[in-house]
Structure 1
């Protein structure tokens, strides 16, 4: 395997196409030569702050050129980049900082106070001072020439850590290596819409695998990436027209808000809309297809642990309109199985079980979490997705539920256990079960079903929600609260979450993408 990384691929693009546009963000377009020079300056700055091979470089801030500088600059040093979720409260960020132990933290000025609070909590939990060297990304990296840094990478080098919540709410760092990125990006058919003449639009946050992944694509494919700071409908509509975007990554919640904006036009240059990451109703999907009649729609399904999508429902299937609830078929080189949870025995077509996947783009494991890695990887190299579904007779995957009790609201992952733990200390709450319920805008949203300590004096729903928001990112907090006399349980005392959830879904089925 040739020596390559984010940095070496960027260097190659800059040599081959120096004046071609590489990235437009923060109101400015940079060519491949510009981005390559930016990476050199960032690498010099990071090395001056102590970063080197294998060290972690964290970024706390919005989508923008600063994260591109961190990602490519760290790669020049054979260091590891990770983006922090600025929507988390200080305690949530502190847990990730304590786990990743970054050597350098680059923080946007508007999130400096949040970063300071998280670092203080991490230091208090550690019982000792210290922590990463902090760079405030105000005019960073410094302007001026920088001597190129070209360390020869290895395929097994860690390229990035992508943090995802565990089933108990504990953060887990998914390891992304040079090898897994290469295998993903070179898989036939994964990015057919991202060639040198393509203009890609990404408004997904870079602390998500999808948002970060679309930042990899320009260096590997030669496309022009338009990276928006946030998924504001007005900004998306303007970018589609101003930059003549040819392909856009839009999660279902963003599609829904776009459809309701009276300024939305047909975007005649838009040839492909890629969606996934959260539930979408067939009604919203058909509305979107009607609103963008020139665009082909592509649904992708994957997980952070697979370094990108593993299945695709292509444009032809969308035009046929007969399998719009399917997640599609696996890419070449990707294997799927549906098995009986607990036994690993294959289920026949049309029968629901747990979805397992195997490919050469799977993560080597979780950062410093061998137990969680062992739970993820089954014998034979199969990855347990935690998703329930079935394969039809033609090999199309249909997802029906989440075994892991994960709720996906507007593209954000929320684990029920984390919210339940936060609500356990709420005054007046004796017992609680958290489920996802359908939502027209967000796909699904968080609901708390509460058993009050005193039925005659149940807490106000607003107080329950406020209690959660004080302890969790707002998107993780319930948006509604129902009260019940008791929660259904099995003989061993475990809450039967499916029975709690079923009344809120019209047909008893929960389809996910």
Structure 2
């Protein structure tokens, strides 16, 4: 395996400097160009005063420059902090306050999200000049496999963002994953519709790139554009959350489209209903591959291969499974309280022991200690295992909501709602959505003497939270159901919403 991302880029560039590496719309960057520009980025970072271990925050939509900055930062020993441009400005400010980057790179369309006083490097108005004059040769900076290269933010159950640290060694498994399980090689054309601030974008993007394959980024995520790019580039592989798969099936002309090059689509990040999966298999005619993983595992740790998708055969029941663990790691199901293993058929918390596991959270020693135990990562997700070793996701031990592939923690939304003077008590739950898998719903008890105006409440929350975190419905109730210890019985609220 490649020890570092720099080693990976050296290896794939040697396969052919003129081979296409990354494309967006009408622009393609070759591996030779990517290698040279990554070196210029590394030298430019050093000239700007950044040293190994410093943070470079990137607030950009998908673009080839994002990829060259990743590799340039890796060669400079600098940690790339990927910022979620879907967040509201106060949330961006909180992440920047936690990460304390030495430099921020952004675009014109995202710069308004930055706090006042930030002096960013603008992609359109200074990036090329910033690189100009710096050599295209590798910098003389020692970088070790255990050095952190990425810091991806995931909201915590308290509503505070957590910086998940990812090392070169963590990412070293990704090319192997692409080769052995995604079925990729040097001729692969891999579509990456997920934003690069997600591990499902920046991590998954290394699967094909690590084979010397061609990575295609999307500038817009509409059904029409997605279908057009699949045809235009003769895409062979893609990863998509179920909401994107569902959207693709609505694209005009999907029945007549030439998708003969499409080998497989990996799906994950949110529950895929069996009905949607069967329809996608029928319409798209390619292989499908379920994947389960998280930011803290640097991506996929469990997979259901295309051969194990058997909608009309004796193993059709596996369509409700996420598959079996990858062979180089261990997955255990344990009692979330005692940590004792549970028997097959019993629900337990998924724990993972792997070289892919994060070394921890940035400046969060207590949360790191709670998540990592003797090499095992506590995922907070619940599943049961059948006699053949296939995992079936049951629920989330934490009350996290997954909507359209985005993680939403109820406590964060509840805190925002509770700040409104008309709200006396509140609970946030995930409810089924045919489009997004789940959507956010709020159950509100009015403050004494107050009247809750649902539209005004939602308008207020939208000024402080990303749109995908905001409730799509508000239910007004007299009281919330609680147990003897005072904890809200969210299972009762979810059951009421499913009636």
Give the TM-score range, shorter chain: over 0.9
Residue 339 of structure 2 corresponds to 344
Match of 2:188 in 1: 198
Quick one: distance in 2 between partners of 1:335 and 1:149? 37
Shift of 1:44: 2.5
1:65 maps to 64
Give distance in 2, aligned partners of 1:417 and 1:191.
Answer: 36
Is the partner of 1:343 in helix, strand or coil? Answer: coil
For residue 287 of structure 2, the aligned residue among 271, 282, 296 is 296
Superposed structure 1 runs of 4+ greater than 6 Å apart: none
Are 1:308 and 2:299 counterparts? yes
Judged with a 3 Å threshold, the aligned counterparts in structure 2 of structure 1 residues 207 and 190 are, in CA distance, closer, same or farther, namely farther
Q: Give the CA deviation at 1:146.
A: 2.2
Aligned partner (choices 157, 165, 175) of residue 147 of structure 2: 157
Contact persistence 1:248–1:274 (CA under 8 A): yes
Question: Alignment partner for residue 430 of structure 2, among 418, 436, 442?
Answer: 436
Per the alignment, do residues 249 and 498 of structure 1 end up closer, same or farther by CA in structure 2, a change over 3 Å counting?
A: same
Equivalences for 1:422-501 in 2 at 5 Å? 422-453=416-447, 458-501=451-494
> What secondary structure, in the 3-state scheme, does the structure 2 residue paired with 1:322 have?
helix
- CA offset at residue 69 of structure 1? 2.3
> Can you give the 5+ residue segments of structure 2 that lack an aligned partner in the other structure?
none
How many Å apart are 1:25 and its aligned residue? 1.5
The answer for the alignment partner of 1:134 in structure 2 is 120
Query: Does 2:158 align with 1:172?
Result: no
Report the alpha carbon displacement of residue 255 of structure 1 after superposing the two structures with TM. 0.8
Does 1:327 pair with 2:322?
yes
Further displaced range: 82-91 or 189-198: 189-198
How far did residue 194 of structure 1 move? 2.2
Query: In 2, Cα distance between the equivalents of 1:155 and 1:224?
Result: 25
The alignment's TM-score, normalised by the length of structure 2, stands at 0.94
State whether structure 2 residue 375 is matched by structure 1 residue 385.
Answer: no
Question: Is residue 400 of structure 1 aligned with residue 387 of structure 2?
Answer: no
1:230 Cα deviation (Å)?
A: 3.3
- Which residue of structure 2 lines up, in the alignment, with residue 361 of structure 1? 356
Task: Report SS of the residue matched to 1:110.
Answer: coil
Give the aligned partner of residue 128 of structure 1: none
Give the secondary structure class of the aligned counterpart of 2:45.
helix
1:383 Cα deviation after fit: 1.0
Question: 2:15 aligns to what?
Answer: 16
Counterpart Cα distance in 1 of 2:220 and 2:65: 15
* CA deviation map 1:378-417 (0-9, x unaligned): 3x32111111111111111111211111001001110000
Indicate if the aligned counterparts of 2:333 and 2:351 stay in contact, CA closer than 8 A: yes
User: In 2 relative to 1, CA 245–144 (structure 1 residues): closer, same or farther, beyond 3 Å?
Assistant: farther
RMSD: 1.9
| 3-state DSSP of counterpart to 1:362 | coil
Query: Match for 2:407 among 413, 425, 428?
Result: 413
Is 1:210 equivalent to 2:204 in the alignment?
no
Asked if 2 retains the 8 angstrom alpha-carbon contact of 1:94 and 1:119, the reply is no
Over 3 Å counting, the alpha-carbon distance change for 1:342 and 1:266 in structure 2 is farther
